[in-house]
Amino acid sequence: MQKPIITIKEIGRKYVIGTEVIHALKSVSLDIRKGEFVALMGPSGSGKSTLMNILGCLDTPTSGSYVLNGTDVSHMSQDALAEVRNKEIGFVFQTFNLLPRSTSLDNVALPLIYAGYSRKVREQKAKAALESVNLGNRMDHKPNELSGGQRQRVAVARALINDPSIILADEPTGNLDTKTSIEIMGLLEEIHSRGNTIILVTHEEDIAQHAHRIVRMRDGLIENDYANTDVKSVSPRLQALNESGSDWEKINQK
């Protein structure tokens, strides 16, 4: 069995607001292995957003340990965490988080600037990433010239640009209509089938059903953690893969 790409042990996170101490997480332990597709769920106040921020190296725990891809990131400085985020994690947000005055190409290439790539390499990699999400004909468009689904595809391409260990998708369909939500989930399914590890944060049951494992939180603790035996799939190419028995590369070329 593969070693976990994420190991958190007895993670706690508390916040002091005035004289009140809020325990957002209470001794949470979790392993996620390479290639898993995990949905993280829970009602408001359950701790899922706090856990997401820690998993994404956007925050550090008050107690416990977090090992990401072999590196203990539990108590790193903010600068060190920023470097880890850029190398190890691709983010997809509900609100897209695109630069409004930049083209799709420039938005996707942005993480490569911080990684030190030349402009030529940045453009080559960004073009390939946009083509992989079927936006090769929208490279020069700015966000206000794109539909919601197209903007989210740009965000997905940006998340993939550094070949991260993990794709962390925070409510990726929250601002999309039903049809577009299905398209985005189909895209995430295909990305997962290529070997990427995906952590999906959602409060929507139907969206969580696309994941192969569901972790439910309540009151700062993991309430349930189980394999999803009835995975919902909406990707036409994955359905063709299942029906034909062909390998992914052949289907992906069609």
| Per-residue pLDDT reduced to its tens digit, 138-177 | 999 999 999 999 999 999 999 999 889 899 999 999 889 9
Domain covering 35-57+75-252 in this structure, CATH number = 3.40.50.300
3-state secondary structure of 92: strand
Q: Where do the structural domains in the chain lie, given as residue ranges?
A: 35-57+75-252
* pLDDT, tens digit (0-9, with 9 covering 90-100), for 66-121: 999 999 999 899 999 998 998 899 999 888 999 999 999 999 999 998 888 899 99
Strand runs labelled E in 103-220? 166-170, 197-201, 213-218
pLDDT given for residue 212 in this prediction: 95
Q: What is the pTM of this model?
A: 0.87
How many angstroms separate the CA atoms of 174 and 203, rounded?
9
Residue 253 has pLDDT above 70, yes or no: no
Mean pLDDT across the chain: 89
pLDDT given for residue 55 in this prediction: 95
Band (pLDDT 50/70/90 cuts) for residue 249 is very low
HSE on the CB side for 130, CA within 13 Å? Answer: 23
pLDDT given for residue 237 in this prediction: 58
